[in-house]
Amino acid sequence: MEAMEVQINELTDQLTQKTDQLKNTEYNAVRLQTKLNLALMSVDHLLSSPRKQHAVEINHLQQELDATVRQSPKKANHAARSVTIDGSAIDMAHKYLQERTRNAALHSRLQNAISNMQVHCCVRPVMAHGRSERPPWRR
């Protein structure tokens, strides 16, 4: 019987050791589970923040794209108008040069006509040696 008591004591000690090991293992499992949950929450928070930023950025880019698509026909019309304006500006510059040349020629003719009138309308001064009489045809 003594052998059985010794065996029971040994088995009780082993059972106590195994129970302590099991409690330690359960404690470690709970501790590790808590750490894992905290790590998962931290990772989820870290991932959700960039996701939200990414979603906001995608929304902003979509709005910019929509605005660009709405303004695209306006820009095309603006480009066509600027080509037309550039063409008409070149035409206007050409017409300006033609008018300037024409005006210069007219100005030259006007100056020539004025000088001719001045020559024909010139009044002769009275002569000092007695020819102050009127010519016979003007009497």
Contacts of 126 (CB under 8 A, 6+ apart): 132
Q: Where are the domains of the chain?
A: 2-116
Alpha-carbon Rg for the chain in angstroms? 57
* The token pair that represents 122 in the structure block: 């010139």
The mean pLDDT of 69-98, rounded to a whole number, is: 79
Q: Is 80 exceeded by the pLDDT of residue 80?
A: no
Q: Is the pTM of this model over 0.85?
A: no
Rounded Cα–Cα distance for residues 74 and 71 (Å): 5
